[in-house]
Amino acid sequence: MTSPFHRRIAALAILCAGTLFPACNRTPASAQDPESAANAFFATLENGDAQGAYNGAAFGFQAAQTFDGFISNARDLGLVGGKPPVWKDKQISATEADFNGTLVNKIGVPINISVSMTPDGNAWKLFTLKTSLGSQDAENHFTLVGKGTGFNDVYHQPMPSPRQIDILVHKTVADFNTAIQTANFHNFYESISQQWRDGQRMTGDLAAGVTEKILKDHFQGFMDRKVDLSSIAYLEPVFDQTPQINESGLLELIGHFDTPDYRVNFSFQYAYELPFWKLFGIDISLTK
């Protein structure tokens, strides 16, 4: 029997994919085939190269846990040295691909596998990985945002009003834009939630912490291209998903702004720290 896992709740930050940035100007054949990319991830595990599999996953996947955490889970589940998956269900779009299937692990036990792939840089990469045994629901042992557990009522907060949500989104974008305009993420880093910085939720759940350097390094492409998001201050956000507080008690705001030059896609998560909602995860990407 495998040892129990700690569900990890962490924040994500994924740099844009597309044609806007130099790194995205060339798209290799593998980037056009998310299924091959998913198969390559498991083939690398099958060959015993867990480090290679981890290094080849999306930034958001790596941000969810250290390599030590990943290899611990992968070994407990018998994925390292296991057989490649057989996909039973596939859903592929231009921005995401989801695959569900089964694989036989190292000791011959069938495991249900559910993965999502995302364009990351110039290739499709694994973004989430869920597993389960038998008829059990798949769980996020490896991903950034998993099911919340034991979330104390003291941390449950009422849904902010539409006006408060609008202010929250605009403030996040404005603070982020100031950081990339000045090439200085210190004030932006100071504004995010203490839980994200510490790498631990108030519930006691572990999270992947973040540093000022990680944020700056990750969004270097925005600074290199001199992206300016100041026009968003005069625009209304369009929400692609209904704002919600998820099972982990995080406020999720997903949508976009249409500027004259490009669409600014955003996915923000906020953790409540009395008396404010503070940023716990950020995903901003630009598309033509």
Helix (H) or strand (E) holding 286: strand 276-287
Check: CB of residue 99 under 8 Å from CB of residue 114: yes
Sequence-ordered list of residues with C-beta below 8 angstroms from that of 33, at least 6 positions apart, any chain: 124
Residue 12 · residue 63 · CB < 8 Å: yes
For the domain 153-287, what is the CATH code? Answer: 3.10.450.630
CB 116 within 8 A of CB 48: no
Residue 276 pLDDT > 90, yes or no? no
Which part of the chain is CATH 3.10.450.630? 153-287
Q: Lowest mean pLDDT: which of 10-14, 118-122, 239-243, 250-254?
A: 10-14
Confidence of residue 72 (pLDDT cuts 50, 70, 90): confident
Model pLDDT for residues 79-106, shown as the tens digit of each residue: 989 898 999 999 998 888 999 999 998 8
> Which tokens sit at 77?
């589940």
* Residue 235 exposure: Cα atoms within 13 Å on the Cβ side: 19
Quick: pLDDT tens for 140-174: 555 433 223 222 333 457 889 999 999 999 999 99
Joined tokens for residue 165: 């949500």
Q: Say whether pLDDT at 29 is over 80.
A: no
| Alpha helices (runs of H) in 103-146, residue ranges in sequence order | none
Within the chain, all domains assigned CATH 3.10.450.100 are found at: 22-132
Where does residue 52 fall: left (phi above 0), alpha (psi -120 to 50 degrees), or beta otherwise?
Answer: alpha
DSSP letter assigned to residue 84: P
pLDDT above 60 for 17: no
Q: Which amino acid is residue 183, in one-letter code?
A: A
| Residue 227 φ then ψ, to 5° | -65, 135
pLDDT score recorded for residue 212: 92
Residue 174, pLDDT score? 96
The per-residue pLDDT of the chain, averaged, comes to 78
pLDDT at 18 over 70: no
- Do 272 and 249 meet the contact criterion of CB atoms below 8 Å apart? yes
22-132 fold? Nuclear Transport Factor 2; Chain: A, (3.10.450)
pLDDT tens digits along 198-234: 887 666 666 677 889 999 988 998 999 899 999 999 9
- Beta-carbon neighbour count of residue 161 at 10 Å? 9
Give the span between the Cα atoms of 235 and 173, in whole angstroms.
11
* Separation of alpha carbons 126 and 77, rounded Å: 18
179-194 pLDDT tens trace? 999 999 999 999 999 8
Question: In this model, does residue 255 exceed pLDDT 60?
Answer: yes
Residue 4 confidence (pLDDT) above 60:
no
Per-residue confidence band for 272, with pLDDT thresholds at 50, 70 and 90: confident
- 206 — phi, psi (to 5°)? -75, 150
